[in-house]
Chain A
């Protein structure tokens, strides 16, 4: 019999809401007169996205459930990530109005595609089956290709869309190829079935080298590696980041914040579900899969390349694009720590906080940048931004806050996020169950990452220094719009809230960890609580981890 219940629908309610809103926006676009201000559609979009975020907050289950006959996992991870991507979508939609009007590309499809992309991400992080994962990923990706190439009169935008599409298609092909290996070995596309087959007593036959001579890669590892690389491409992590600077600087400015922020955290969340689920060994040591090593090298490469190249950039958007590569590296650092039993729960908390902080602040930073413009273009070089912070104190302050958050300084959200991330990485290094080489390397990586994040921080601080520089650029001005103000306000409030009172988000992260990890890992003694930031000024209220587990 046909199989779905109301519970199945409830689990995907946020995605359904986003999709229905997207279709409504499409129909509004084509049935309204040309004189109808498309700005209204931005408000509709933001309202729908915020509603979806609220709904996913309200419906978050106390216990993980499996819906649609095993196709979807309805748990805290999906709900938290959906909520934050939806908020990023709302901020982006609100910040796009004036920008699109200036370029005379203010049409409804833009907002519909934003909503579809968010729905795709929501499906992707809730997926418990590779077919659903692929469809969600493609839905988000196709919408994002079109958003990147949206500014059709600009060659840069078309080129950006084309590059993004080619590399994205390669990533999708690698994903499917990897899944083909796993499905061929286990006969299923479901996460649970694949995980069970790889942990079954007879699974050893997949990993034994038959010849002993030829260099041998067990086929499950081939599949896993291909899937992992596909995600690295999608997240723009080094060494698969080459498309990112061009795509991010060619895309319409407000969307770039959404692509690089929300897109990354959805990708890393899907990776966490995979590596805590089907690809995890029973004790999550990471030994069987060997993916900790892969994640480690990708993290090192991303952090080094992203931060150092960001320092050399003259154009703000390219600088942010390169440093988004570094942020992908930090998210992967958390993924390395997931492979260590003692740090697994901490790494999930850290990645939720980091992802949330990054997605929101990044969306905010790009919409402020989009609002600073001259003629028909946006301000892009450092010189063009100079003095704007004095001329427009509120917006200058907001942009500074977002950049400070990205740099990982108090009082913004990025500070707490980086703190919990590096403390987790350190704890992972001390984990007894860790393979010895991993322990050493993770601690070195944490130290190196800290040093390099200072370098990355300098790149951000340089922008702030220019914002408050002496001579104002004559032709660049702030283009006000009530929607933009609203979007910036939402982003700023959330960034400050997460920075000053991260307790609530950490509780959510704890819930995610509880629902994602198997019971024996949670019993691990060394729970990594982000240490109270002793070096922080007194004014910052540090909320200790609440012990009571609130339902999300």
Chain B
């Protein structure tokens, strides 16, 4: 195993642990903080994929801005432990785990079929692949339309936020 592989497994396990924390924690604030950890580990994996710009944006926007928004909402609701109610047994999580296991096995078997594959996978990318410069070029050429559509999506988001969340209209 080279350094890259070690780091990959480190980040991957970290991300999975973080996500498990989000689902398993009973306190929503803990869930949110686990999500921040998961975002950081994911950012690490982006770096391994040479997606540097994405990694930084992941940390700035997701772990920064969007998590602040999450925490605002959680603090707005401000559920206390006693409000969460006692732990109760229900069949639903077990069914969920069963379904997740089935899906994991089938998809995992799908991945296994590529273990020894040497056929032309879109594997290696140049080191400059995920720099802001390359992304800028892509946004101006092949992805020009998505670039403009994003602004429209953001506009719809702004209007929707005002319509739904503003106190007086």
Q: Give residues 312-365 of A contacting B (CB, 8 Å).
A: none
Query: B107: which of A142, A188, A205, A217 is its contact (CB, 8 Å)?
Result: A217
Contact with A along B24-59 (1 / 0, CB 8 A): 000000000000000000000000000000000000
Chain B CB within 8 A of A112 CB: yes
Closest CB in chain A relative to B112 CB, distance in Å? 6
Chain A CB within 8 A of B23 CB: no
Chain A CB within 8 A of B153 CB: yes
In contact, B149 and A112 (Cβ under 8 angstroms): no
Instruction: List 8 other contacts, CB 8 Å, given A116-B156, A210-B112, A222-B106.
Output: A3-B144, A23-B155, A69-B142, A71-B142, A143-B156, A146-B159, A210-B113, A218-B113
Query: A109: which of B109, B113, B114, B159 is its contact (CB, 8 Å)?
Result: B159
Q: Main secondary structure on chain A at its contact with chain B?
A: helix
Alpha-carbon distance between A110 and B9 when the two chains are bound, in angstroms: 49
Q: Contact residues of A with B, CB < 8 Å?
A: 1-4, 8, 12, 19, 23, 26, 68-69, 71-72, 107, 109, 112-113, 116, 119-120, 123, 131-132, 135-136, 138-139, 142-143, 145-146, 149-150, 152, 161, 186-188, 202, 205-206, 208-211, 214-219, 222
Cβ-closest chain B residue relative to A202: B119
In contact, B112 and A26 (Cβ under 8 angstroms): no
Alpha-carbon distance between A68 and B122 when the two chains are bound, in angstroms: 23
Alpha-carbon distance between A146 and B165 when the two chains are bound, in angstroms: 10
Alpha-carbon distance between A45 and B98 when the two chains are bound, in angstroms: 50
Alpha-carbon distance between A214 and B113 when the two chains are bound, in angstroms: 11
List A contacts of B152 (CB < 8 A): 19, 116, 119, 139
Chain A CB within 8 A of B64 CB: no
Alpha-carbon distance between A92 and B112 when the two chains are bound, in angstroms: 51
Known pairs A26-B159, A205-B117; A216 contacts B106 (CB<8 A): yes
Known pairs A132-B145, A149-B164, A222-B107; A113 contacts B113 (CB<8 A): no
In contact, A216 and B149 (Cβ under 8 angstroms): no
Known pairs A1-B141, A210-B113; A146 contacts B163 (CB<8 A): yes
The 11 sampled A-B contact pairs (Cβ below 8 Å) are A3-B141, A3-B142, A113-B160, A113-B163, A119-B152, A123-B149, A135-B153, A202-B119, A214-B108, A216-B106, A217-B110
Contact with A along B142-169 (1 / 0, CB 8 A): 1111100110110111011011100001
Known pairs A145-B160, A146-B160, A210-B113; A217 contacts B149 (CB<8 A): no
List B contacts of A187 (CB < 8 A): 121-122
List B contacts of A8 (CB < 8 A): 145
List B contacts of A209 (CB < 8 A): 109, 113
Alpha-carbon distance between A206 and B156 when the two chains are bound, in angstroms: 39
Q: Main secondary structure on chain B at its contact with chain A?
A: helix
In contact, B169 and A215 (Cβ under 8 angstroms): no
In contact, B117 and A109 (Cβ under 8 angstroms): no
Cβ-closest chain A residue relative to B161: A146
List A contacts of B115 (CB < 8 A): 210
Closest CB in chain A relative to B136 CB, distance in Å? 12
In contact, B141 and A2 (Cβ under 8 angstroms): yes
Closest CB in chain B relative to A459 CB, distance in Å? 32
In contact, B159 and A216 (Cβ under 8 angstroms): no
Closest CB in chain B relative to A381 CB, distance in Å? 29
Alpha-carbon distance between A26 and B159 when the two chains are bound, in angstroms: 9
In contact, B105 and A107 (Cβ under 8 angstroms): no
List A contacts of B121 (CB < 8 A): 187
List A contacts of B159 (CB < 8 A): 26, 109, 112-113, 116, 143, 146
Alpha-carbon distance between A15 and B150 when the two chains are bound, in angstroms: 14
Chain A CB within 8 A of B89 CB: no
In contact, B160 and A136 (Cβ under 8 angstroms): no
In contact, B140 and A2 (Cβ under 8 angstroms): yes
Cβ-closest chain A residue relative to B108: A214
List B contacts of A218 (CB < 8 A): 110, 113
Alpha-carbon distance between A143 and B153 when the two chains are bound, in angstroms: 9
List B contacts of A219 (CB < 8 A): 107, 110-111, 113-114
Alpha-carbon distance between A423 and B149 when the two chains are bound, in angstroms: 40
Alpha-carbon distance between A142 and B154 when the two chains are bound, in angstroms: 10
